[in-house]
Amino acid sequence: MDLPKNEFKAAIMAGRQQLGLWCTFADTGIAELAAGCGYDWLMFDTEHSPIDPLTVMPLLQAAAPYPVSPVVRPGALDPIQIKKLLDFGAQNILVPYVQSAEEAALAVASVTYPPEGIRGVAGGTRATRYGAVANYHKRAREEICIIVQIETKEALDALDEIAAVPGLDAVFIGPSDLAASLGHLGDPGHPEVKEACFDAIRRLRAAGKPAGFLSVDQQFVGEVIEAGSIFTAVDTDATLLRRSAVARVGEWRKKLG
C-alpha cells in the first residue's frame, strides 16, 4: 500500500484556497455529517473542546470516506501528544500558542523521525495502515503538514524568524488570544487586532509561507482571504448549530405571535 496523499498540504503549497470548519464535538456522527458538507478541511480541536487525543482516532475514521482533510490541534506543544495524533493517522497538525522560532523548531522535530527529529517510531499503527504502507517511516514526513499558531504580540514580533524555521509548512493566525494579548480581550474584531492579523498574513505570504485563519465573522473572513489567508476556517460547528437553532425557534415564535 502506498503512503496516503495529503491533499490539504498539496493544495496550500500550490496556493489553492481551502475552506474549513472548526469541529468541537467529540461525536463521530457529527464528524461524519460535517465531512460530507463540502468543506476542504475539518479541524478537530483538542485544546478548547471535549475532544481529547483518545477520541481523535474515531473522528478521523468517521471522516475518512469523504473528500475532506482532517487537521488536528493538540492541546499544547507536547511531543508526546503529537506523536499519538500522528500514530492515529493525522497528517495535518496545528500546534497552538507557539511563541518563538525555537518552539516552532520543536514542533517540526515532533513530526519528524530521527535523526532529523524526535518522533517516536512504532510500526502497527493506523498511520502505517497497521504495517501495510511500504517504507512509511522513510516517507511519512513527505505527507505530514506541520502548522504553528501565532496568538500573542510576542509571537507576532518573532513572526519572521518563526516563518523561516526549516521544515515548517504553514502558519495560522489566532485572533481571539491575539486580541487578549493586544489588550482587547473578547474583541477580535477590534481595528487594532484586525490590522495585526492582516499585517501578519501579508508578511507570511511575502515570505512564501501559507497563512491560515479562523473567524465566525463572515466579513472578517472575506477580509483575511483578501489579505492572503489560504486555508481559512469560516465557522465552528457549535456556532453553526446554535445560530440555526436560535433562528428556527425565532421564526416560529414570530409566526405564532
Q: Is residue 60 in a domain?
A: yes
Query: Residue 54 above 90 pLDDT?
Result: no
Q: What is the mean pLDDT of the chain?
A: 97
pLDDT of residue 11: 98
SS (H, E, C) 69-89: EEEEECCCCCHHHHHHHHHCC
Q: Which tens digits make up the pLDDT trace of 242-253?
A: 999 999 999 999
Cell of 10: 498539496
Predicted confidence (pLDDT) per residue in 102-114, tens digit: 999 999 999 999 9
**pLDDT value, residue 171:** 98
Rounded Cα gap, residues 37 and 221, in angstroms: 19
Q: Could you tell me if residue 149 is inside a domain?
A: yes
Q: SS3 of 227, please?
A: helix
Q: At 226, which CATH number?
A: 3.20.20.60
Q: What is the pLDDT of residue 110?
A: 98
Residues with catalytic roles: 48
Residue-level pLDDT at 233: 98
184 within some domain: yes
Predicted pLDDT at 56? 97
Q: Is residue 188 predicted with pLDDT exceeding 90? A: yes
Extract the C-alpha cell encoding 92. 495535518
User: So what's the pLDDT on residue 112?
Assistant: 98
Range of the structural domain that residue 27 is part of:
7-256
Which pLDDT tens digit goes with each residue over 194-238?
999 999 999 999 999 999 999 999 999 999 999 999 999 999 999
Instruction: Give 45's pLDDT tier (boundaries 50, 70, 90).
Output: very high
Residue 2 maps to a domain: no
Q: How many domains does the chain have?
A: 1
Is position 1 within any domain? no
Can you give the pLDDT at residue 53? 86
Percent of the chain at pLDDT exceeding 70 = 100
